[in-house]
Structure 1
Amino acid sequence: MILKSREIVVNYMTPFGLHHIMDTGHHYGPGPWVSNLSRPDWNPTYYHKASQDGIGFNRTKTGSNATAQYAPEVAKLFENSTTCPEKDLLWFHHLSWDYKLKNGQSLWDGMALKYQEGVNEVGSMLLTWNKMEKFIDKKRFTEVQMLLNIQNKEAKWWRDACLLYFQQYSGKELPQGVEKPSESLEYFKSLKFPFAPGN
């Protein structure tokens, strides 16, 4: 379980190279809508640049030219969306919601399914852990089970909040296999954690 846990978190929080989309202050939950901080580069909207034409930060020579910091061979790889590793795609490129991924899915469908995959994987970890009850002392089993239940709830929170937010730009339906959000975007935006560390 532990070997897959990092990629699982990436899948339900920041797939395809999305980044810095956590909420203000506590950085505890999703906040891709945050755009009111005093510096542009403190705002999640600065990094994902979601709009009706697509999503992602253009770091190629036609954008911020951050790819120039790499060795020429590596820069060439990142410069082209077809050779850029898909896990880094939106870190280096602003792409259309209809951009075709290597598996033939549109970027929107692939992104939504990646969020769902992360949620599914957390659920699988929880099922695996629950099978270990007879092999682990009660205290440790219960503590880990509680933490996995929290992670399961938070994975769904990230998936639902991010997909609802980005959906208003993509204008597309969630693909088959992605659970419908449990709440509205307005609900997720209204969540505040004034007593969380970092505030």
Structure 2
Amino acid sequence: MAALLGTDRRRLLLVLALAVVVGVFTATVPLLRDWFDLRVYYGAVDTWVHHGGGIYDYRVPGTPYGFTYPPFAALGMLPMALMGLRTAIVVALLLNLAALTLVTGILVGPELRRYRWFGCALAACLLALFEPVRDTFSFGQVNLVLLALVLSDAWLLSHGRGRWAGVGIGLAAAVKLTPALFILMLLLG
């Protein structure tokens, strides 16, 4: 038992060290991307709630870019009206981290499952290094959250819990239209 605890402690330290290295590596990317998409979401909600404008009125200063998601997405982002931009960035990072953890837990293969939390943590750190994941974090995008919703539905279907299948895809499609393609999965599943 003591050897197992020692092994778990070493694994935890290794994961923490790897997470710090990955965090430091990816921390340079948000400085380059400047959470651009999150600033669009935040500005649109701020304009709508605090300045009496419409969600599609806001443009990022110096650019032609504004909010392009369906109106339901703005409702989901409404809590940003209660916080400052920096807090919204922290919340977005935490939501994306939670979504990455869920996605990793669903996707991790049986080879890594035998290592339980350690295998999932290593896989999450490695996934965080891939450019699409890094860009989702650095732009402040919602892609990982949407992926987690779609994969949760796929997991529910594959584990015979179809009663709730469709909720995640429905929510994801209400935020961004692309996940609506997975409705076919529900129809065929």
Question: TM-score with structure 1 length normalisation?
Answer: 0.25
Higher relative contact order (CA 8 A, sep 6+): 1
Q: By percentage of residues, which structure has more helix? A: 2
